[in-house]
Amino acid sequence: MTNIMDCLYERVNKKSHICVGLDTKLEYVPASDHHLAIGDQLFNFNKRIIDETADLVACFKPQIAYYEAHGLEGMMAYKKTLDYLRSKDLLVIGDIKRSDIASTAEMYAKAHFEGDFEVDFVTLNPYMGFDSIEPYLPYFNSGEKGAFVLLRTSNPGAKDIEMLNHADEPLFMTVGHGLKKMSEEINSGGKISPLGLVVGATHEREAEKIRSSFKEMFFLIPGYGAQGGTADIVRKYLDDDLNMGVINSSRGIITHFKKFDDGESKIGAYAREAVLNMKRDIYGE
């Protein structure tokens, strides 16, 4: 029996480690679409990216804030993007970074694992406490849904909390041990736990320790490219068979067209080129 994280592992095996972040801004939309409603502008841009890269990447990660910023129009674009991805049998990480407890967290889980905004995985913030993760466990135990929980994030300010000393180790390691225990108790029927970790590609000195400490957990690795993460660093986060993680790139892929005079007419083609460049960088091809 497989679960949703096993499916992602298989997509990595079949396609690549790459996750395309759909952090879509209106300023990226070509002038030819400016006459359309905002929701259509955002969706059409995403569709161009998806159509040209779907065969090369393991999954897609729309960041919900870029859609919430445009109100109902933006959220309709978010929904249409999710619907389109699922119609093409593509795996989706809803980057929502929720953190709450009890019935409120149950409603967040329902909102993003069922209904209009349904995705395969969500991102969660555990720093409110492990009880902020517990309401999602029924979905994880079903094997049909998963999550990536913030551990060691890529932003410089992460040191303000994540690096605080706790029991002779950085706080993020204590959090990681708790999440690992929770992960081991999930009964999803698959080989890999549906509870994974977010680890930034900007922390070279810690990468090998994090991988060895949480070797059975799948990683979502942001920070490659625009934030300074390199192929050498992300490879340290992957296990011996190099399949226990996906590497996210957002701006580096979806705005690659801006480097070219004819970019607006070839947004999807240049996104594909960026993915191929990223594959060569990671795999040394």
> The tokens of 229 are what?
């993460």
> Cα–Cα distance between 278 and 272 in angstroms, integer?
10
Angle at 282 between CA 276 and CA 285, to 5 degrees: 65
Angle at 201 between CA 231 and CA 56, to 5 degrees: 55
Beta bridge partners of 224: 229
**Residues 15, 47, 97, 110: which is the catalytic one?**
97
DSSP one-letter string for 55-72: TT-SEEEEBTHHHHTTHH
Residue for token digits 């209106």? 26
Antiparallel, parallel or unpaired: β 169-170 and 165-166: antiparallel
* Helical ranges in 162-284 per DSSP H: 171-184, 204-213, 231-237, 251-254, 267-283
DSSP one-letter string for 82-115: HHHHHHTT-EEEEEEEE---HHHHHHHHHHHHSG
> Cα–Cα distance between 94 and 240 in angstroms, integer?
28
> Cα–Cα distance between 135 and 123 in angstroms, integer?
14
Q: How many Cβ atoms sit within 10 Å of the Cβ of residue 67?
A: 27
CA atoms within 13 A on the CB side of 268: 14
15 belongs to the catalytic site: no
> Cα–Cα distance between 9 and 30 in angstroms, integer?
35
Catalytic residues: 97
